[in-house]
Amino acid sequence: MNRKRVTLFFLLVAIFFLVFYPSKKQNYTHNQGKTFGTYYSVIYQHPDGKDLHDEIKQQFNRVDASLSMFNDTSVISRINRNEDVVVDDLFEKMYEEAHTASTLTHGAFDITVAPLVNFWGFGKATSHDVDVYALDSVRNLVGYQLIELREGRIYKQNPATTLDASAIAKGYGSDIVAQFLKEQGCKNYMVEIGGEVVCHGKNEKGKPWRIGINKPIEDTTGMVNEIEEVLHLTDEAVATSGNYRQFYYKDGKKYAHTIDPRTGKPVQHNLLSATVVAPTCMEADAWATAFMVLGPHVSDSLAATLDQIECMFICVDEQGKYEITKTEGFDKYIKE
């Protein structure tokens, strides 16, 4: 057999194996669990088929050690106790994003809101026995201008000011896990923590990830889940904030968990939920919260000015019917 025939023979053998014995496609790994007081789901395709669940939980622990108010040893807890602590990189990046949102919304988003969250019974203190005459003194502790990050330390104008990063931490946690998966060579993945989602690449069917947006139905149990829209996302993050699950009634009046840091009171408007698609989940999380504070009309106007951010707002009219408004580019996520 001459050289040309030998070459042709091996070429045909190679083609045969490529056609009839294609390389095995790696399956997607599904990890679920509980973190940050809520549930998470992580789906990814590792190039070597590895299960990274233990490493993913380590990423959650990093965020918890920095931003959890329920972890007494976390950076934010130590700041709230006025200990001399140098912040870590996670806290610093969270602070920078929060400060940007605070500045652009003139304080509608504010991580110093913790005293008000506790005052109204939505923080560690769950009592709903509110002394309205004490509200002004609590309001004096709140305001993003009252804190400053300098050379790795938080400086407060009032030692009684405390921080609450819960309106941004879940989204940031999703970003942290997504970045970890990217560093591990994963090209297709979806990370979801308590409804805050990061998507990259394609799902198991080779299509954009399908993310459901819930109808804002009043339900404190979290058991009622009806889908309003399904988004088709690739290389995007999405977060939804709403007042339809965390609230209480007292003396016939509804108190929602979204607190306006500027007034010191729970918001009172007809915006039920705000969904934000953004390049990062930390941005989406922060802006969804900010819009819930600002209400529908201001949010519509502000959202139209923000680059790379698209939004959907669900309001309720006087007859109890839903009214949905969207930014100009939002529909591209609905059409596959």
Q: Can you give the residue ranges of every domain in the chain?
A: 39-333
pLDDT at residue 41, rounded to an integer: 98
Alpha helix locations (H) across the chain?
3-20, 53-67, 75-80, 89-104, 114-119, 135-139, 166-183, 281-294, 296-303
pLDDT at residue 223, rounded to an integer: 53
pLDDT at residue 122, rounded to an integer: 77
3 state DSSP class of 142 = coil
Measured CA to CA in angstroms, residue 96 lies from 19, 32, 134, 199, 283 at distances of 53, 30, 31, 23, 11
pLDDT at residue 13, rounded to an integer: 43
pLDDT at residue 9, rounded to an integer: 45
Measured CA to CA in angstroms, residue 292 lies from 210, 213, 266 at distances of 24, 16, 11
Helix (H) or strand (E) holding 260: strand 259-260
pLDDT at residue 270, rounded to an integer: 87
Q: Which fold has domain 39-333?
A: T-fold (3.10.520)
pLDDT at residue 86, rounded to an integer: 98
pLDDT at residue 322, rounded to an integer: 87
Q: For residue 201, what are the contacts with CB-CB under 8 A and spacing of at least 6? A: 45, 187, 188, 189, 234, 235
Residues (pLDDT < 70) of the chain are 1-25, 123-131, 218-225, 244-256, 336
User: Hey, what are 213's tokens?
Assistant: 């947006």
pLDDT at residue 268, rounded to an integer: 85
